[in-house]
Structure 1
Amino acid sequence: MSDAISEAIGVVARSAPEIRNGLAGRRRKTDAENASGETQLAADVWADELLAERLTAIDGVGQFASEEREGVVECGEGYGVTVDPLDGSSNLKPNNSMGTVLGVYDAELPASGRNLVAAAYVLYGPITTMVVARDGDVTEYVVEDDGTRRAVTEDLTLPEDPTVYGFGGRVPDWTDRFGDYAREIEDELKLRYGGAMIGDVNQVLTYGGVFAYPELESRPEGKLRLQFEGNPIAYVVESAGGASSNGEESLLDADAEAIHQRTPVYVGNEGLIERLEAGF
């Protein structure tokens, strides 16, 4: 079974150059919506189909779920694997960064974040990098054009002195309690927000700080999906010595009730997350 974890991570790494190279001709919108009601780009559908085919073929993967499809695909016995095939795909039009998110759960989906045994994300930036969390260790790789990985940072941890923040959602739609927290942070840290969670979280891992896509007045349940985004990113950040929260508790402790369940997401240096929860 442990080989299935390595193979799932390897499949995403080997697929990353192909996904990146295939984006240019797939920027158009389709007539379809994903399970969350968002209009899909051709790139969303293509990346989902590519990863589904390759991940469900792994011996030891029993379930596959994607942000881009309604239900869970049963494909054998073993781990539950989740993907956000193209996090931040709206950034395709202006040609900004985006990524791919992977979660590997040792439980039937939907599953608690405490059932994660590995999580990873690929960042399609000026270079393609991959951050992998497993067994309490976090490693950053450069993904070469042939899909091989070259470790560039081992035992990755958040810097102790935070520098950056990035907050999603429209400011007028923030709740008063998050707005109060945001104003404190704005006086202390530098804004870094690019509209793709992976790029913004990677800034926090690199420089220290906090990323949030908070509860909103119009969407108190949050915007990001727990299974595909919240849990895997929380696993990476906590493995790197940081903290996560949904405003009340670690995202990894949140009850998983539905495959497309949404959640507020707060991740970053432990002290900044503790301050957030204290204010809430």
Structure 2
Amino acid sequence: MVVANGKTQPEMDPVNTTIVTLTRFLTEEQVKHTEATGDFTLLCHALQFSFKSIAYYIRRATLVNLTGLAGSSNTTGDDQKKLDVISNDLFIEAMRSSGKCSLLVSEEEENVIFFKDSQHARYAVACDPIDGSSNLDAGVSVGTIFAVHKLAEGSTGTLGDILKPGTELVAAGFTMYGASTQLVLTMSGGSVNGFTLDIGLGEFILTHPDMRLPRQRAIYSVNEGNSLYWEDNVNAYFNSLKEAQEDGKPYSARYIGSMVADAYRTLLYGGVFAYPADKKNPKGKLRILYECAPMAMVFENAGGQAVDSKMRRMMEVVPENIHDKSGIFMGSYDEIEKIKSFHK
């Protein structure tokens, strides 16, 4: 407490002048690599601009009539929302104008988009512009998932530069648009870092450095409405979670229905998120390139695991086409080990 003019007043909290913005973070990471050209940093600046733009339109969606369906379906058969279309267009233009992206795969586009004007671009990007868009009109958290590959030496941009397993990823992550806008970013062989968008500054601020998953946690996240179609071992696993565990309590169920939101909660608190393949969708429902692989990279770099429905390491699964699908289990290390035990 301080005394001013004879009155006692509360002390002011000191102002933080050592804020680490995403821009500063990327610049400092670039300095660590003497071979860096700055191209990847510039690509990331274009990515963060698209995230800020999408966040802006989502915040204003109800006010400016951007809710509801656009009247068409995307290449995977999902009904497109107006914001799906806008976000996809924003993402395409951000990648095109960056000059560092040679080709782009989007959930909303049937074919690969090649940026022929970017002759010296060295990167290929895959994205789901708005994951969980069916929840948009209800104000539930949705997000963007992205994955970055580097072109093969001498390549000018081909399909082969993007049809790679997650082990070849240069960077990956997701942005969640909810009560606040959260960006989770990881790079090959690096840690996982979380940023929060400060609307006043217009900057992503590092708020969750070096994110690590708890090794185990009694929380599971899955759409149990599909249990009728699950294989017996999948049903056996989830039924086991409803029984008393060593502490006498069953697991807690937490399911939002937006992969990004469920993944972010699992990343923070631990547990397991699952969207297994089933009799209705034998290959699974989630897309490998721009949902499963980037999420797997995030979870592995945070100390967790991610496997497909055949218990293969998700990062090693090679997509057969740009919209190829897979089942997935991802979460705390020990929780995934428990899942594996039911599939032996």
Q: TM-score range by the shorter chain?
A: over 0.9
The residue that corresponds to 1:132 in the other structure is 185
1:123 to 2:176 alignment: yes
Aligned to 1:38: 78
Structure 1 CA distance for aligned equivalents of residues 217 and 301 of structure 2: 17
- Per the TM alignment, residue 28 of structure 1 is displaced from its structure 2 partner at its CA by 1.5
- Residue 199, structure 1, aligned to residue 239, structure 2: no
Is the Cα–Cα contact under 8 Å of residues 142 and 149 in structure 1 kept in the other structure? yes
Tell whether the 8 Å contact from 1:48 to 1:68 is kept in structure 2 after alignment.
Answer: yes
Which one of the candidate residues 82, 93, 112 is aligned to 2:126?
82
Q: Which residue of 1 is the match for residue 17 of structure 2?
A: none
- Code of the residue aligned with 2:126 in structure 1: it is T
Query: Structure 2 vs 1, CA of residues 181 and 61 (structure 1 numbering), >3 Å: closer, same or farther?
Result: same
Cα deviation 1:142-179 (Å, max 9, x = unaligned): 11225411111101000234142101352212221111
Q: Which one of the candidate residues 148, 163, 177 is aligned to 2:233?
A: 177
Alignment partner of 1:96 is 2:134: no
The aligned amino acid for 2:56 is E
Alignment partner of 1:18 out of 56, 59, 69: 56
In 1, distance between residues paired with 2:106 and 2:61?
18
CA deviations over 1:69-119 (Å, ceiling 9, x no partner) = 101111133211111111100101322111111111124122211111111
Contact 2:55 / 2:177 at 8 angstroms: preserved in 1?
A: no
Q: Could you tell me which runs of 5 or more consecutive residues in structure 1 were left unpaired when the two chains were aligned.
A: none
Deviation at 1:278, TM superposition (A): 2.9
Change (3 A) 1:22 1:84: farther
Q: Compute the displacement of 1:189 (Å).
A: 2.1
Alignment deviations for residues 220-269 of structure 1 (CA, whole Å, 9 cap, x no partner) = 10000001100111111111010000032111100121000010011101
- Three-state SS of the structure 1 residue aligned to 2:306 is strand
Query: Deviations for 1:109-132, whole angstroms, at most 9, x for unmatched residues?
Result: 222111111112111121111111
Aligned equivalents of 1:58 and 1:231: distance in 2? 24
Consecutive unaligned residues in structure 2, runs of 5 or more: 1-38, 152-160, 244-249
1:55 aligns with 2:109: no
For residue 162 of structure 1, the aligned residue among 217, 220, 224 is 217
SS of 1:177's partner is: helix
Which stretch of the first structure deviates more once superposed, 18-27 or 51-60? 18-27
For normalisation by structure 2, the TM-score amounts to: 0.77
Q: What are the superposed Cα offsets for residues 27-85 of structure 1, whole Å, 9 maximum, x if unpaired?
A: 22122111101111111111111111112221221111110110111113321111111
> TM-score normalised to the size of structure 1?
0.94
- Summarize the alignment of residues 236-247 of structure 1 with structure 2, pairs less than 5 Å apart: 236-247=298-309
Q: Separation in 1 of the partners of 2:177 and 2:229?
A: 29
What amino acid does structure 2 have at the position aligned with 1:28? Answer: G
The code of the aligned residue for 1:160 comes to R
Is the CA contact 1:17–1:147 (under 8 Å) kept in the aligned structure 2?
no
> 1:142 maps to what in 2?
196
Are residues 16 and 41 of structure 1, via their aligned partners in 2, closer, same or farther at CA, if it must alter by over 3 Å?
Answer: closer
Please state if 1:221 is matched with 2:277. no
Structure showing greater Rg:
2
Letter in 2 for 1:234: A
Does the 8 A contact of 2:297 with 2:315 survive in 1?
yes
Comparing 249-258 and 137-146, the one that deviates more: 137-146
Instruction: State the shift of 1:216 in Å.
Output: 1.2
Q: Once superposed, what is the RMSD of the aligned Cα atoms? A: 1.7
**1:268 equivalent among 328, 331, 341:** 331
